[in-house]
């Protein structure tokens, strides 16, 4: 089972260490994690995509909710969230296939952010499906390096 | 002192917990952290922006380099990196100022990803300066909620 949870945490030392330790205590694998500032400088948002058995994932959510430093925990699988991820991909640029490659970038609205002698680096933001789609399309060209931000999300609507 | 480091780590349980614990042991504050997949399914990239005194940050880098699970540590302050961050912002939409707001989105090339009765949600990818710039411009309109991915980065050029 995979689950993506979003936690609002007070900026206190060791919050992330506590969370990550708890994940590994329950043998839950962290697939991605993004921790960053929110609209409130005293509060951070940590979005983690974790994999493990269902009971363990439930335990983890309950544990997090019980922590003094955690203000709120949301399960992003509930689908009332706008989820986005950022990816940077450095792909091999073969002169004979450049036009094709550019077409892939256009379809996925990926923007070129860097260029070398033999490679081109693009960025794309989208939901996980689109990010996976781009990576899948670029693989045959040769992916030299890649960096994904992990999912971030906000509730849909005004709330 | 702030420092952004990028570590390539083997996907083994507890890597992130170990890193985060080490950061707090040296009283280094984690400003943002992004952990995600790379081109190699066995390897993750962890980019962390940390704040602390210089000696502590050096200690941390050395500690990470010494870990069995860490393949490589780079200091992203060295500027030979393309760095990007993704931000989602839900901002209050006042009918009288909608046109102005749209202009801000256009200048920053922020895309609308959601809309409510009283708010509009946009995403933007850019370097930290641009992300800070957008947030600064949107503050007067009223930021309802915000989520930042933390910085991700790839080396410039072909390497």
Q: Which helix (H) or strand (E) holds B31?
A: strand B29-37
Quick one: B74 and B134 in the same domain? no
CATH (domain of B69): 3.30.70.260
Asked whether the predicted pLDDT for residue A140 surpasses 80, the reply is yes
Beta bridge partners of A2: A51
CB B134 within 8 A of CB B110: yes
Quick one: B99 and B34 in the same domain? no
Quick one: B53 and B102 in the same domain? no
Asked whether the predicted pLDDT for residue B150 surpasses 80, the reply is yes
Is the Cβ pair B154, A143 closer than 8 Å? Answer: no
Q: Is B36 near chain A, with CB under 8 Å?
A: yes
Asked whether the predicted pLDDT for residue A4 surpasses 80, the reply is yes
Quick one: A73 and A89 in the same domain? no
Contacts with A153 from chain B: Cβ below 8 Å? 88, 147
Quick one: B22 and B70 in the same domain? yes
CA B47 distance to own-chain centroid: 8
All residues at 6 or more sequence positions from A19 whose CB lies less than 8 Å from its CB, including other chains: A7, A9, A46, A48, A64, B20
Q: Examine the fold and report which residue of B58, B78, B98 is the final residue of a domain before the chain moves on.
A: B78
Quick one: B11 and B63 in the same domain? yes
Query: Token pair 């990926």 is at which residue?
Result: A110
Q: How confident is the model at residue B24 (pLDDT cuts 50, 70, 90)?
A: confident
Kindly list the distances between the CA atom of residue B64 and the CA atoms of A100, B16, B60, B74, in Å, as whole numbers in the listed order. Answer: 41, 11, 6, 10
Q: Examine the fold and report which residue of B78, B94, B120 is the final residue of a domain before the chain moves on.
A: B78
Is the Cβ pair A21, B17 closer than 8 Å? Answer: yes
Quick one: A131 and A102 in the same domain? yes
Contacts with B123 from chain A: Cβ below 8 Å? 84, 125
CA distance B26 to A29: 26
Q: Examine the fold and report which residue of B30, B46, B78 is the final residue of a domain before the chain moves on.
A: B78
* Mean pLDDT rounded to a whole number for chain A: 92
| Interface ipTM | 0.88
B contact residues 123-142, partner A, Cβ 8 Å cutoff: 123, 125
Quick one: B108 and B45 in the same domain? no
The pLDDT assigned to A122 comes to 97
* Mean pLDDT rounded to a whole number for chain B: 92
Q: Is B37 near chain A, with CB under 8 Å?
A: yes
For residue A32, the tally of other CB atoms under 10 A from its CB is 21
Q: Among candidates A49, A32, A37, which has minimal Cα distance to A10?
A: A37
The two structure tokens encoding residue A75: 């399960």
Asked whether the predicted pLDDT for residue B99 surpasses 80, the reply is yes
B contact residues 54-113, partner A, Cβ 8 Å cutoff: 82, 84-86, 88, 90, 113
CB B110 within 8 A of CB B122: yes
Quick one: B34 and B92 in the same domain? no
Quick one: A92 and A53 in the same domain? no
CA distance A52 to A90: 31
Asked whether the predicted pLDDT for residue A5 surpasses 80, the reply is yes
Q: Is A120 near chain B, with CB under 8 Å?
A: no
Report the number of secondary-structure helices (H) and strands (E) in chain A: 4, 9
Stronger pLDDT, B157 or B92, i.e. the higher one: B92
CB B121 within 8 A of CB B90: yes
Quick one: A43 and A100 in the same domain? no
Domains in chain A, number = 2
Asked whether the predicted pLDDT for residue B158 surpasses 90, the reply is no
Nearest C-alpha in B relative to A12: B29
Q: How confident is the model at residue A143 (pLDDT cuts 50, 70, 90)?
A: very high
Mean pLDDT score, A43-64: 91
CA distance A157 to A136: 32
Q: Is B41 near chain A, with CB under 8 Å?
A: no
pLDDT tens sequence across B42-79:
999 999 999 988 898 999 999 999 999 999 999 887 77
For residue B53, the tally of other CB atoms under 10 A from its CB is 12
Mean pLDDT score, A105-125: 95
Quick one: B104 and B71 in the same domain? no
Asked whether the predicted pLDDT for residue A27 surpasses 90, the reply is no
CA distance B123 to B87: 6
What beta strand segments (E) does chain A contain? 2-10, 29-37, 43-51, 70-75, 81-92, 111-115, 119-126, 143-148, 152-155
All residues at 6 or more sequence positions from B126 whose CB lies less than 8 Å from its CB, including other chains: B84, B85, B108, B109, B134
Mean pLDDT score, B93-99: 93
Asked whether the predicted pLDDT for residue B2 surpasses 90, the reply is no
Q: Among candidates A151, A107, A141, which has minimal Cα distance to A121?
A: A141
The two structure tokens encoding residue B117: 């009765």
CA distance A18 to A27: 14
Asked whether the predicted pLDDT for residue B14 surpasses 90, the reply is no
Q: Which domain covers residue B125, as residue numbers?
A: 82-155
Is the Cβ pair B29, A13 closer than 8 Å? Answer: yes
Q: Which helix (H) or strand (E) holds B57?
A: helix B54-66
CATH (domain of B96): 3.30.70.1150
CA distance A126 to B155: 22
All residues at 6 or more sequence positions from B67 whose CB lies less than 8 Å from its CB, including other chains: B18
CA distance A93 to B24: 42
Q: Which helix (H) or strand (E) holds A110?
A: none
φ, ψ at B85 (rounded to 5°): -140, 150
Is the Cβ pair B27, A13 closer than 8 Å? Answer: yes
Q: How confident is the model at residue A159 (pLDDT cuts 50, 70, 90)?
A: confident
């Amino acid at each position: 089972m995979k689950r993506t949870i979003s936690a609002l945490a007070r900026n206190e030392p060791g919050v992330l260490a506590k969370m990550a330790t708890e994940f590994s205590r329950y043998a839950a694998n962290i697939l991605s994690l993004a921790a960053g500032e929110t609209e409130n400088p005293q509060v951070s948002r940590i979005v983690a995509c974790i994999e493990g058995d269902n009971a363990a994932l439930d335990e983890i959510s309950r544990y997090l909710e019980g922590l003094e430093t955690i203000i709120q925990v949301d399960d992003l699988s509930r689908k009332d969230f706008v989820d986005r991820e950022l990816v940077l991909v450095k792909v091999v640029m073969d002169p004979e296939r450049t036009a094709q490659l550019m077409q892939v970038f256009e379809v996925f609205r990926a923007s070129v952010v860097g260029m070398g002698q033999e490679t081109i680096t693009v960025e794309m933001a989208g939901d996980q499906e689109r990010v996976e789609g781009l990576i899948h399309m670029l693989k045959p060209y040769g992916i030299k390096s890649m960096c994904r931000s992990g999912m971030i999300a906000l509730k849909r609507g005004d709330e």
